A and B are shown apart, each in its own frame.
Chain A
Amino acid sequence: MEKKIRVFLCKPGLDGHDRGVLIVGQALREAGMEVIYSGLKQTNDMLVEAAIQEDVDVLGISILSGAHMALIPRITELLTERGADDILVIAGGVMPPDDAEALVSQHGVDRVFGPGTNTRDIVAYIHEKTGNA
């Protein structure tokens, strides 16, 4: 059987908005991926442990609360600490360009997809990065 791409989509911190992440989840499912959704209000520790147990290829972090600079660097640190830094990390939500740039250049995020992103671009990016076209 072909290997399936597994994606964990998560909502860290105190953020109740999950319309966007669920739309992304549907798009990835339509593209044949196995998408695991965390539900709201996860701590960094909870979601890193879940990503490891689920052995995902991709961790998708959705934050619309403005806390991305507080949360995301700690998440990628935890992934490294637990030997799971081979997981592709993508982020989405409302993040100013400078923050997005810093997350990618300094904090281990592979790509930030801002508002207005076409879900096809996310699918294409994951396929490209996981070598599974």
Chain B
Amino acid sequence: MTETASDLYEGLLNGDRRAAARLISMVENQDRSVRQVLRMLHQHAGRAHVVGLTGSPGAGKSTLACGLTKRYRDAGLAVGIICVDPTSPFTGGALLGDRVRMQELSGDPDVFIRSMGSRGALGGLSMATNDVINILDAFGKDFIIVETVGAGQVEVEIVKYAHTCVVVTMPGAGDEIQAIKAGILEIGDIFVVNKADRDGAHRTLADLEMMIETKPGGDDSAWRPPVIATKALDGEGIEELEDAIAQHADYLRESGLLGLKTEQRMKAELLEILNLKVSQAAARVLDEDEEGRELVRRMTARELDPHSAAEEVMEHLLKREVEKPGT
């Protein structure tokens, strides 16, 4: 294909789904020519409400995303869904199966579903997730649902990018000790106990309520995360979830937290890009520069410790960037 990035950009703003899909692939493949598009996109993004869905595998995230999307579609809203599934660290391959739970949505041109492999990123998302959110945002989606890799203790990256973070669990997924572990409980703006017709649902609901009630420092915030029981497969509780998301969006706007959240997200985005750039530049120094190779030799001979070597590399990088601007 000889489509240039700017053709794709025009296509995206004109609602061409193929163009949106192509741009997402370019972002995933870290194609450099997509950067100018991302630069132009930035001003068009920022309208969508981003909902994160995280939780253990099999808790029902995809089915909830499907139910929620149907309600948004009934209200005439356009929805983007990003589903991240794990990439095998051994083969680099991935089997992306979230669409199977969203069959009712496929064929609707106003629902854009994209399955992504995590491609080595930790934290439950993929490196490209944020850029993909921006693309779907500029594409005119009102709601963007981001479904993380199913896990549940460290998959907290989503909190940086979502306005509203929904943590999904199910009965029998573990006792309150599981819930008290760091991470997942702290990021939830809304908690969902799915498959609520199963044994032990009341216990899970009560455990979560208790955890939220007794969370230290929880009372200085005006938002108390609701705990919602759902049976996603039958659509039960989805309306309550939709209402809770709307209430949370209102709360963010009225409390002024929305601006703060956006600022935090911009900062996280910037840091992520810088992390990548700096580590790539550092790797180049170690692989290609004589000075860099010398550092590694001295470390190997136990003359230099890794912390001091890192300082030297940082100094080297800063000096080089000043000498050669624009590289």
Instruction: Determine chain B's interface SS by DSSP, over half rule.
Output: mixed
A: contact size bracket: 35 or more
Asked whether B17 lies within 8 Å of A34 as measured between CB atoms, the reply is no
Q: Does A111 contact B (CB under 8 A)?
A: no
CB of A31, distance to nearest CB on chain B (Å):
6
> C-beta contact mask, A36-50 vs B, less than 8 Å → 1, else 0?
111101110111011
- Distance of A28 Cα from B91 Cα, bound (Å): 10
Partner of A37, one of B18, B96, B109, B114: B96
Q: For chain B residues 78-119, which have a beta carbon within 8 Å of chain A?
A: 87-88, 91-97, 99-101, 103, 106-107, 109, 112-115, 117, 119
A55 / chain B contacts, CB cutoff of 8 Å: 18, 21-22, 24-25
- Distance of A15 Cα from B316 Cα, bound (Å): 62
> C-beta contact mask, A15-45 vs B, less than 8 Å → 1, else 0?
0000000000110111111111111011101
CB of B25, distance to nearest CB on chain A (Å):
5
Given contacts A39-B100, A54-B114, A54-B115, contact A1 B30 (CB under 8 A): yes
Task: Tally inter-chain residue pairs, CB-CB below 8 A.
Answer: 94
Count of residues in B whose CB is under 8 Å from the partner chain: 33
Q: Please, which residue of chain A has its CB at the minimum distance from the CB of B93?
A: A29
CB of B200, distance to nearest CB on chain A (Å):
29
Partner of A38, one of B21, B29, B99: B99
Asked whether B18 lies within 8 Å of A1 as measured between CB atoms, the reply is no
CB of B272, distance to nearest CB on chain A (Å):
15
B28 / chain A contacts, CB cutoff of 8 Å: 1, 4
B117 / chain A contacts, CB cutoff of 8 Å: 4, 34
Q: Shortest 9 CB-CB distances between A and B: which pairs?
A: A39-B100, A29-B93, A55-B21, A46-B107, A46-B106, A32-B92, A1-B30, A55-B25, A36-B96
13 A-B pairs within 8 Å (CB atoms) are namely A26-B95, A31-B93, A32-B92, A34-B93, A35-B96, A36-B97, A36-B99, A37-B96, A39-B100, A50-B106, A52-B21, A53-B21, A55-B25
